Amino acid sequence: MAGRGLGQLFARKSVEQIQSEYGASELKKTLGPVNLVLLGIGCIIGAGIFVRTGSAAALHAGPAVILSFIIAGAICALAGLCYAELASALPVSGSAYTYSYTTLGEFAAWIMGGLLLLEYGLAASTVAVGWGEYFVSLLHDMGIIIPPELTAPAGKLITTESGAQITAIFNLPAAGISVVMALLLIVGVSESATVNNVIVFIKVAVIIAFCVVGAFFVNPANWQPFIPEPTGVEGEFGWGGVMRAATIVFFAYIGFEAVSTAGQEAKNPKRDMPIGIIGSLVVCTVLYMATSLVLTGVVPYQQLNSGAPVADAVNSFGPGWTWFAVMIKVGALAGLTSVILVLMYGQTRIFYTMARDGLLPTPFSKIHSKFKTPWVNTIVTGVIVAVAAGVFDINTIGDLTSVGTLAAFAIVCVSVIWLRQTRPNLERGFKVPLYPVIPIVGILSCLYLMFQTPENVRMFFLWFMIGAIVLYFVYGMWNSKLAKGVVVHGHEPPPHELEIPKPQNPEG
């Protein structure tokens, strides 16, 4: 039993089998560098800039949060290049989970599956909390007030407009939108490329409009001091705060790896993939820096600790700008709604793939007879996302998302090194430049940012990983189809009506 167990930890899927099933010849090579940069921008811009920027500035970096965006963007670029190489060598569905299964083995794939639950599932919860705050703000503009005890995480003390203090019970809007998205995924939703492009346009337009109009309301005095003096508490202002904020705004870049999945469709992947990844990250970093500069210039950074900082800023423009505030909030809600849908879809797809490999119970791959969607899987995902969104604080679940994603990125960088050493002659459409420097720096950078998060977040992450490992040895190892010699032909997504040509922001 022990021998089988140790051997099974490193059991791998065949590279040749994957390449034969997902050969590059089956895909049209139609994407040039401009297409890839635009795809990247659509994938990256999502919940992070609308939701997490405020708390990063208010609690940790002050106006210097723009430096945090540069740092986070640079680390994403290192991981992005590693994703691009793996995508060009292993044209698979399942992304990082299947990369790990093919390179490092089954145990690493299981760990990656757990990390992706944090990256997709908790990211959806984080976005849902931000969605809820924009929704509550928009309703307030219309004179509709939801009881404050139903708009915040359980147990949080809320000071009402009258000055009274009440204790929050549950974040109803955040949990509600999570349930609605889960129901839509069960029934099946068709989202055309046109709708996808319109929503991407709306998201970018909202950011640019906010920066242009907000620039007229900036008070340069709000930028002083640029880097606030450290308080003595770890991660609160000073350069330590800038690095701590980098772990928070890192959330704003999650989703860029979707660019790497287009590697097999690039006209010239060796040239175009780095242009697509780096180019989109640079453009988004500039947009993010401009947004954070306007945010901290319009509103003193101490007042930005909310899940809807852009809404808070436009509210300060004055009564004559109510129409603009409504427009910005509606645009943000449209973008955030779509992001929640894509994130939850991504999580159900990961669960489905793992169930087909035997690592999760069979019901996770069970398809509804009428709707042709993985309904049990989607219900479980919906419950996880809704409960986390309704009960937990946005900063806590946002940090857990970032930690899980950073760990996943580090494993991807390790996978590149492993594949270079074990399969040096494997055909690759794109190779990471400056190898092995970039993968190694990518690993160290991700680990460094992980340790900049609060101790309670790191401890939760540790216990989460321990629980995941125990579950593998209790269930996954003994039900693995690879261990039983059962070949799973491909990892196509379950039959359903959800068609998302290119996710706008699959990780949030």
Q: Comparing 21-30, 81-90, 407-416, 424-433, which segment has the lowest mean pLDDT?
A: 21-30
Whether residue 19 is predicted with pLDDT greater than 70 in this model: the reply is no
Q: Is 121 in contact with 347 (CB distance < 8 Å)?
A: yes
What is the predicted pLDDT for the residue at 12?
66
What is the predicted pLDDT for the residue at 465?
95
Mean pLDDT, range 480-508, rounded to an integer: 51
What is the predicted pLDDT for the residue at 178?
95
What is the predicted pLDDT for the residue at 409?
93
Mean pLDDT, range 106-110, rounded to an integer: 90
In whole angstroms, what is the distance from residue 245 CA to residue 326 CA?
A: 29
The larger pLDDT score, comparing residue 178 to residue 366, is at: 178
Whether residue 70 is predicted with pLDDT greater than 50 in this model: the reply is yes
Cis peptide before 225 (omega within 30 of 0): yes
Please provide the distance, in angstroms rounded to a whole number, between the alpha carbons at the two ends of the chain: 41
Q: Comparing 141-150, 193-202, 220-229, 368-377, which segment has the lowest mean pLDDT?
A: 193-202
Q: How confident is the model at residue 14 (pLDDT cuts 50, 70, 90)?
A: low
CATH of domain 31-479: 1.20.1740.10
The larger pLDDT score, comparing residue 160 to residue 52, is at: 52
Whether residue 101 is predicted with pLDDT greater than 90 in this model: the reply is no
Q: How confident is the model at residue 24 (pLDDT cuts 50, 70, 90)?
A: very low
What is the predicted pLDDT for the residue at 504?
42
Q: Which two tokens stand for residue 326?
A: 């409504």
Q: Which two tokens stand for residue 21?
A: 């099933």
The larger pLDDT score, comparing residue 256 to residue 37, is at: 37
Name 157's bridge partners.
167
Give the DSSP H/E element, type plus range, for residue 356: helix 322-356
What is the predicted pLDDT for the residue at 239?
94
The larger pLDDT score, comparing residue 262 to residue 457, is at: 457
The larger pLDDT score, comparing residue 95 to residue 252, is at: 252
Residue 231's CB: how many other CB atoms inside 10 A? 12
What is the predicted pLDDT for the residue at 502?
41
Q: What sign does the dihedral 203-245-254-359 (CA atoms) show?
A: negative
State pTM to two decimals.
0.85
The larger pLDDT score, comparing residue 483 to residue 314, is at: 314
Give the DSSP H/E element, type plus range, for residue 47: helix 47-51
Q: Which two tokens stand for residue 105?
A: 């083995």
Whether residue 289 is predicted with pLDDT greater than 90 in this model: the reply is yes
Cis peptide before 436 (omega within 30 of 0): yes
Whether residue 214 is predicted with pLDDT greater than 50 in this model: the reply is yes
Give the DSSP H/E element, type plus range, for residue 157: strand 157-159
Q: How confident is the model at residue 491 (pLDDT cuts 50, 70, 90)?
A: very low
* Residue 151, SS3 per DSSP: strand
Q: Is 408 in contact with 99 (CB distance < 8 Å)?
A: no
With tokens 């996770």, the residue in question is: 364
Q: What angle do the packed helices 172-187 and 123-141 form, to 10 degrees?
A: 120
The larger pLDDT score, comparing residue 196 to residue 484, is at: 484
- Structure-derived torsion over alpha carbons of residues 299, 302, 304, 307, reported in degrees to the nearest 10: -170
The values of phi and psi at residue 164, to 5°, are -75, 150
Q: Is 206 in contact with 331 (CB distance < 8 Å)?
A: yes
Whether residue 349 is predicted with pLDDT greater than 90 in this model: the reply is no
Q: How confident is the model at residue 347 (pLDDT cuts 50, 70, 90)?
A: confident
Whether residue 277 is predicted with pLDDT greater than 80 in this model: the reply is yes
pLDDT more than 70, % of the chain: 86
What is the predicted pLDDT for the residue at 11?
65
Give the DSSP H/E element, type plus range, for residue 167: strand 165-167
Structural domain boundaries in the chain: 31-479
Among the listed residues 440, 375, 466, 448, the one whose alpha carbon sits nearest the alpha carbon of residue 407: 448
Count of helix runs (H) and strand runs (E) in the chain: 20, 2
What is the predicted pLDDT for the residue at 426?
85
Question: Cα dist. 114→97, 229, 264, 367, 465 in Å?
Answer: 9, 38, 27, 22, 7
Q: What angle do the packed helices 65-89 and 238-249 form, to 10 degrees?
A: 40
Mean pLDDT, range 286-312, rounded to an integer: 91
The values of phi and psi at residue 162, to 5°, are -85, -5
Q: How confident is the model at residue 496 (pLDDT cuts 50, 70, 90)?
A: very low
What is the predicted pLDDT for the residue at 68?
95
pLDDT digits (tens, 9 = 90+) for 396-423: 999 999 999 999 999 999 999 999 998 8
What is the predicted pLDDT for the residue at 428?
84
Among the listed residues 99, 95, 115, 116, the one whose alpha carbon sits nearest the alpha carbon of residue 13: 99
In whole angstroms, what is the distance from residue 432 CA to residue 344 CA?
A: 31
What is the predicted pLDDT for the residue at 487?
54
| Average pLDDT of the residues of the chain | 84
Q: Comparing 47-51, 57-61, 183-187, 275-279, which segment has the lowest mean pLDDT?
A: 47-51
What is the predicted pLDDT for the residue at 91?
63
Burial 141-176 (b: 16+ CB within 10 A, else e): eeeeeeebbbbbbeeeeeeeeeeeeeebbbbbbbbb
Q: Is 481 in contact with 488 (CB distance < 8 Å)?
A: yes
Q: Which two tokens stand for residue 481?
A: 């189809």
